[in-house]
Amino acid sequence: RLTGQQQEINNLIQRKNAVDEENARLKNEFSNLNQKFKDKSQELKDTEECAQNKEEQNRLVIKNLEEENKGLNTCCADLLNDLEKLRKQEAQWKTEKSGNDARIK
């Protein structure tokens, strides 16, 4: 009976050692996975921060372009008004020239 109990104790010790080894392996794996998680979390944080900065830069570029476009639209409107005035002046000068030419003849 004693030999059987000793054998059972030896078996339990072997199982305990195997469980301890598996436990140590799992702890090591958990530690590695936890470090990977921290690294990926930091990478995600950095990526989100970079994306946020790019988004802010894009907003500023869009705002500047919209302001520039507004200025160009105003400039175009002014140029169109000037062109219309010059066309009217040209028509008036042609009329005057035609009258002058007729008087000269």
DSSP H helices in the chain:
2-104
Q: What percent of the chain has pLDDT over 90?
A: 97
Q: Residue 7's pLDDT band (boundaries 50, 70, 90)?
A: very high
Instruction: Kindly report the backbone phi and psi dihedral angles of residue 71, in degrees, each rounded to the nearest multiple of 5, phi listed first.
Output: -65, -40
CA dist 79 → 72, 76, 82 (Å): 10, 5, 5
Mean pLDDT of the chain: 97
Per-residue pLDDT at 56: 98
Mean pLDDT (whole number) for 46-56? 98
Per-residue pLDDT at 90: 97
